[in-house]
Structure 1
Amino acid sequence: MTSGAQPAILVLEDGTTLRGEGFGASGETFGEMVFNTAMTGYQETLTDPSYAGQIVAMTAPHIGNTGVNDEDPESHRIWVSGYVVREPSRLASSWRARRSLDDELKAQGIPGIAVPGTRALTMRIRERGAMRAAVSTVEDDPRRLLDRVLASPGMTGADLARTVTTPHPYTVSPPDGTATRYRVAAVDLGIKAATPRNMAMRGMEARVLPATVTAGEILATDPDGVFFSNGPGDPAAAGYAVAAMRGVLEAGVPVFGICFGSQILGRAIGLSTYKLRYGHRGVNQPVMDLATGRVYITSHNHGFAAALPPQGEWGAGPPCTGKADTSRDAGSAWAHVPPGARKPFGTPYGEAVVSHVNLNDGVVEGIRLLDRPAFSVQYHPEAAPGPHDAVDLFDQFAALMDNAR
């Protein structure tokens, strides 16, 4: 153990126990244990509101190399409940750094643990699924800590969007020299700072609204388009957002949703949602656009997904299975697209299609309505961090608003 480091313990709800060194704040924290496969962007991960209520383990072995700066946060605070790494960097080596990761975690009261077994932890989560867990520097008995883990709330049924949203509306305007071409009502279900910034760069004035805003309040802003953001928790618990989405769809205003917002669109049009075994979290998820066959490498953070409807029906259906599409070459990317994923299905708002799927497991990654100006994706086009393959989705939103005029 490093000289002066506190002993710490990580306990999962199945009894798995890992001992290591504490870093960040002292104390005890509870949350859903998940892992992130990104090799960079830890500051954006920590401040992403979609991670509220979760203890995040990083699969990259060395975290904290570039310290923490004041330019890259995606919100006003760290949202993760706890942080797990293999080896925290002892030095912050970047001209942009203002403080170390350890100092930032301490300042914001976030307990962390460094354990040599992050690979084993990741494999455990992949095998058993995301589980409730705790990190503690004050409890040494794993049995007592396990009792408290088992008494802690799970993610299923958790309504977290209303806890991370802005309490008051605010506006992000295009920068000087960029004309305002569109007014967008952005429903903050856990929005990241990079999202309205990307909109502003394209001439969109984003009026960011609280998660519980009604359809009437959204439409009262006279928007050219409505955006539903990413966010944490179970979409089945956010009926207020589903109701707002339905009201906007009925009004025929262009809609763009991402991540949690995509799941809200799915529920609004009659699809069910379900919890993934261990979710998609990282910046390396391959997603195919079924209209073009193009594969994007994308940034993800979600533990729930919309279910593919049964062929020929609309409504609740089983999750995508990822079974091969035998009508295509089994050696191609199309072999990973579930049968029927490209077939239109009925909704209360006309026909819709699954527009994107994940090539790792066949999960629905996008929805497009054919009779209304509305579409969504299950990933982060704003990246932050991550590849910028999908940033043109903001341009597609602009084109949708142009066509609606």
Structure 2
Amino acid sequence: MKYQSRRKAVIILADGTIFYGKAVGKEGTAFGEVCFNTGMTGYQEIFTDPSYFGQIMVTTNAHIGNYGVNEEEVESDSVKIAGLVCKNFSYNYSRKDASGSLEEFLDKNGLFAISDVDTRALVSYIRDNGAMNAVISTEVDKIDELKAELTKVPDMKGLELASRVSVTEPYFVGNPDATYKIAALDLGIKKNILRNLAARDAYIKVFPYNTSFEELRAWKPDGYFLSNGPGDPEPLEEVIGVARQIIDENLPLFGICLGHQIIALSQGISSYKMHHGHRGINHPVKNLLSGKGEVTSQNHGFAINREEVETHPDVEITHIHLNDNTVAGIRIKNKSCFSVQYHPEASAGPHDASYLFDQFIEMVASRTAVNNAG
């Protein structure tokens, strides 16, 4: 049996705390910021989400790999997490439409993973002490050397990562004859976001993260979209400038996650690194405009300053996170712009917030009608 011959493995946190486990497959070592996701399903979507680039993922669900993988259930072209830590790894899977095992999928993508870790204790420790850098490795006899290497890993605060996951050349998604054209800036965009836009009669051109406003506008889109993505938003000064130009021109703009933070920064609202972030598919949000509650999918380690939003004359809070009252959505007053800190494309996750895509397309349609009438 595989589990009888698996090598011992270790996870070392930046503060020196150590947990032990066993290697899932191959031997190896991986560095990154350790974080956890509370989702009960959707591990394949999580592992391929570009927003997780550079992070070691701890899954709180007891069993990972039990339903295998499906080639259609990916959010990018490859695994984006730096490493995986779980309690029980299922080498055998049971699902009719699975295309293979999670073990094969991780091996194909070169991901190092360890299991048999006391993830309840590890997650509790992160909740108490915050997300921090860590290393996972099968080199259990080289603890001091691993600690020394870990000190060289840059902190997530101040780290620009969008350039590591963005495309280098534009590409198109959807029907060229669709009613609306949307220019999407790829900061680490998820495939299901593009599917949701295309399903609403939109033709999308996805641009590299560092594309200028002039180049975006030259395509003559009906609306603009700023995507999710990894890392600290503050170093993305050029992207922040592009968002400011779009808003100043009062062109339809929708932002998700990192895109939401970029929009806030463009209005002079600061961002900050959260203690341990929001990552899961059961986060409660209240829509302050409708009064309705939403169960949402979230994945972010940064947020925007609520006090600065509340005192800003041109920005309004539209959604709040009910667990900690952080800002979950904003809109720019008298402008065609809004954004949310969570994932309405629900991959993986609930569909409570999918109306936001409808809201964006309605905003685009309204703006297009005004332009045509003029």
Q: What's the TM-score once normalised by structure 2's chain length?
A: 0.95
Q: Distance in 1 between matches of 2:245 and 2:307?
A: 22
Q: In structure 2, do the counterparts of structure 1 residues 76 and 145 end up closer, same or farther at CA, with 3 Å as the change threshold?
A: same
Question: Structure 2 regions of 5+ residues with no counterpart?
Answer: 369-374
Which AA in structure 2 matches 1:278? H
Which AA in structure 1 matches 2:364? M
SS of 2:12's partner is strand
Structure 2 equivalent of residue 143 of structure 1: 144
CA displacement 1:8-46 (0-9 Å, x = unmatched): 111001111111110144211100000000000000000
Question: Structure 1 regions of 5+ residues with no counterpart?
Answer: 315-340
Structure 2 equivalent of residue 345 of structure 1: 312
Q: Distance in 2 between matches of 1:130 and 1:386?
A: 22
Q: In structure 2, do the counterparts of structure 1 residues 230 and 25 end up closer, same or farther at CA, with 3 Å as the change threshold?
A: farther
* Pair 1:403-2:369 in alignment: no
Structure 1 equivalent of residue 181 of structure 2: 183
Q: How does 1:1-400 map to 2 (within 5 A)?
A: 2-174=3-175, 180-310=178-308, 341=310, 345-346=312-313, 351-400=314-363
Identical columns (%): 43
Q: Distance in 2 between matches of 1:134 and 1:207?
A: 38
SS of 2:261's partner is helix
On the 8 A contact 1:6/1:21 being kept in 2, the answer is: yes
Q: Distance in 1 between matches of 2:339 and 2:181?
A: 19
How far the C-alpha of 1:116 sits from its partner, in A, is 3.5
Which AA in structure 2 matches 1:376? S
Provide the aligned length of Structure 1 versus Structure 2. Answer: 367
Which AA in structure 1 matches 2:274? L
CA displacement 1:158-200 (0-9 Å, x = unmatched): 110011001111111149xxx6111000111000000111111
SS of 2:178's partner is coil
On the 8 A contact 2:240/2:262 being kept in 1, the answer is: yes
Q: Distance in 1 between matches of 2:24 and 2:327?
A: 37
How far the C-alpha of 1:391 sits from its partner, in A, is 0.5
Q: Distance in 1 between matches of 2:294 and 2:143?
A: 43
Q: Distance in 1 between matches of 2:307 and 2:268?
A: 9
Q: Distance in 2 between matches of 1:131 and 1:200?
A: 37
Which AA in structure 2 matches 1:383? A
More helix by share: 2
On the 8 A contact 1:280/1:302 being kept in 2, the answer is: yes
How far the C-alpha of 1:309 sits from its partner, in A, is 3.2
On the 8 A contact 1:25/1:110 being kept in 2, the answer is: no
State the Cα RMSD in Å: 1.4
CA displacement 1:350-404 (0-9 Å, x = unmatched): x220111100001111110111100000000101100000001000001111221
CA displacement 1:217-272 (0-9 Å, x = unmatched): 11111111000000000001111210111111122110000000000000001100
Q: Distance in 1 between matches of 2:302 and 2:61?
A: 24
